[in-house]
Structure 1
Amino acid sequence: MEYKDYYKILGVDRNATQDQIKQAYRKVARKYHPDVSKEANAEAKFKDAGEAYEVLKDPEKRAAYDQFGANWREGQHFEPPPNWDAGFEFRGGGYTGGDASQFSDFFESLFGRGQAGGHRRQTFRMQGEDQHAKIVISLADSYHGAHKTITLNRSTVDPNGHVSVSPHRLHVAIPKGIIEGQRIRLEGQGLPGYGGSPAGDLYLEIAFEEDQLFHADKRDIHLALPLAPWEAALGATLTVPTLGGNVQLKIPPGSQAGKKLRLKGKGLSSGSHRGDQIVTLHIVIPEATTEEQRKLYATMAQKMPFNPRAELGI
């Protein structure tokens, strides 16, 4: 079965008002009325226009059609969603003067088929769609847990078909230890449902803002720690920052650049899932700016013969 683009059939924009839709329908209906049009496919186009108007003139049916058709193009093969269970009151479509039995299988698959010569009214029920957004937090927010207030734009369609966008403020609890890529589910904060059905949910995907000191790899937190050459050679006990505050870290004598030391439990932790802080040593060579300092380096070269390129065979 092929999807029908009712807006395209009437030649109107998806944000058209009810008056614009009505005028467009009358124009198309006059053009293709079988009594006046000589085109071979006039009757089919006339029926399509009546079907399109039957849906777009009714705010409830229009909203349902818009929600379902957001990702479809005219002519694409489609299957209606399994949770559609709807019926609507049919009053005849202006120039058509008929009932819903005139309409296509596409219409019937979405809205049911009315009884010829009469009316049928049931409640259209469909749960609201879920929505997805991204929320950017600091590593400290995840480490300690936090509360945030966010503002999202929400689109609504009034009974006249006017689309409006208004800000929607939400208070969000950030769970302690949440990691990048995980989602927070806010029940009932998605798009509203129809016919008394519940609203969809809002899913907020976590992203971390850039931090000057740390970066996260899942639950582990990484820190590059600068060392003076003598601290690396002789060993030292240094103050090291973590997300939970400063701690003391023992640097083993003879440590080389790139060596990794682990601070257990100092990463992002939630319940039994515990992360560590990984400290990578980075040796910083001080610049010799005086004659005395240059002599000191020369003395080291004489008293400590060392070839850092020995592994290269040179």
Structure 2
Amino acid sequence: MAVSDPYEVLGVPRDADQDEIQREYRKLARQYHPDINKDPDAEERFKDVSEAYAILSDPDQRRRYDAFGPDFRQIPEDVDPDMWARSQSRARAGARAGAGYTTAGGFGEGIDFEDLFGGLFGARGRGGPTGRAASGAWGPVRGADQEAEVQVSVDEAYRGGKRTVTLDRPDGPRRLEVTIPAGVTDGQRIRLAGQGGGGDPAGDLYLIARIAPHPRYRVEGRDVTADLPLAPWEAALGATVAFRTPGGEAKVKVPAGTSSGRRLRLRGRGLPNPRGDPGDLYAEARIMVPSEPSEQERRLFEQLAEASSFDPRRA
């Protein structure tokens, strides 16, 4: 399946470094996240942005995209990029020469098909035991790569683990044991070698991870945001409070004068990153009041109301 140009999707130059790629991804992910943007097209745009980031944040996928273009997943791993570029150039030159590749002198004049296809099919196309020298035709062809989506919980994305995935296939359901790597992000591909379309050898299966919605956590790339409930006095006077994160309990220092919506950053407590720095976790303040205050609480709130000149609508 061809993909959109990830550089265009993220709006970054082709020589962009990882910091720039991550910065643009975070900006666009916040803009188009379905939980925030209710535009009907936002979800598809968010998927495109996640897909582009999955490619450009993975050095191997980025290298293959740069070498082979949008169809890079269909190109066998052992194809030489220079050979591929030459074959494409010659194929385009042949097309411009006129009406396919036939000429009065025969088929493919001026084009070395041994060179053109040799890089794609390896020794099988150069007269090996199963190649055309033995059978008069091209040898076995590698099966097509395939894709399927798998929903991953926030806890699985954080810690990783093993999952049984059931895939619908034309020949009936198929169950696979899958290892979810710790730190998997939304839109990231998990490669299962040899589990794709039939062929010799079989193609690969790519599972596209989709982070499932969570009642407490909101995930953007590797950053995680969670609400931090605070009592009015904790927000007004400051406090150090316990806070549950995907990685376990953490202590959060709440500055005095914190209002609802303030984001307190816990560096490195977001999703792990096997290739670099982990994401951050943001505790977003939410000031809570008792739904049924006791008589004493009510009196104290009334005294505060009488003594205070604070007007939140003018703050």
User: 2:245 is paired with a residue of what secondary structure?
Assistant: coil
1:299 to 2:300 alignment: no
| Offset, 1:286 | 2.6
5+ residue gaps, structure 1, are 1-81, 83-119, 156-164
1:234 to 2:249 alignment: no
TM-superposition CA deviations, 1:79-133 (whole Å, max 9, x none) = xxx9xxxxxxxxxxxxxxxxxxxxxxxxxxxxxxxxxxxxx96456332111110
Task: Kindly indicate whether the alpha-carbon contact (under 8 Å) linking 1:288 and 1:294 is maintained by their aligned counterparts in 2.
Answer: no
Query: Partner residue of 2:144?
Result: 129
Distance 2:201 2:242 in 1: 54
Distance 2:179 2:298 in 1: 57
Task: Kindly indicate whether the alpha-carbon contact (under 8 Å) linking 2:268 and 2:277 is maintained by their aligned counterparts in 1.
Answer: no
> Larger C-alpha radius of gyration, 1 or 2?
1
User: 2:208 is paired with a residue of what secondary structure?
Assistant: strand
1:277 to 2:287 alignment: no
Q: Give the fraction of aligned pairs with identical amino acids, expressed as a percent.
A: 41
Task: Kindly indicate whether the alpha-carbon contact (under 8 Å) linking 2:264 and 2:283 is maintained by their aligned counterparts in 1.
Answer: yes
1:167 to 2:182 alignment: no
Distance 1:123 1:217 in 2: 47
The 3 A distance-change label for structure 1 pair 123 and 309 is closer
Task: Kindly indicate whether the alpha-carbon contact (under 8 Å) linking 1:190 and 1:202 is maintained by their aligned counterparts in 2.
Answer: yes
The 3 A distance-change label for structure 1 pair 125 and 151 is same
User: 1:309 is paired with a residue of what secondary structure?
Assistant: coil
TM-superposition CA deviations, 1:254-277 (whole Å, max 9, x none) = 111111101111111123131011
The 3 A distance-change label for structure 1 pair 151 and 290 is closer
When normalised by structure 1's length, the TM-score is 0.54
**Considering only aligned residues, what root-mean-square deviation do their CA atoms show, in Å?**
2.4
Query: Partner residue of 2:43?
Result: none
5+ residue gaps, structure 2, are 1-87, 89-134
> Going by fraction, where is helix more abundant, 1 or 2?
2
Higher RCO, 1 vs 2 (CA within 8 Å, ≥6 residues apart): 1
Moved more, 275-284 or 126-135: 126-135
1:221 to 2:224 alignment: yes
1:189 to 2:195 alignment: yes
Distance 1:181 1:219 in 2: 12
User: 1:246 is paired with a residue of what secondary structure?
Assistant: strand
User: 2:248 is paired with a residue of what secondary structure?
Assistant: coil
When normalised by structure 2's length, the TM-score is 0.54
Distance 1:255 1:228 in 2: 11
Distance 1:140 1:239 in 2: 19
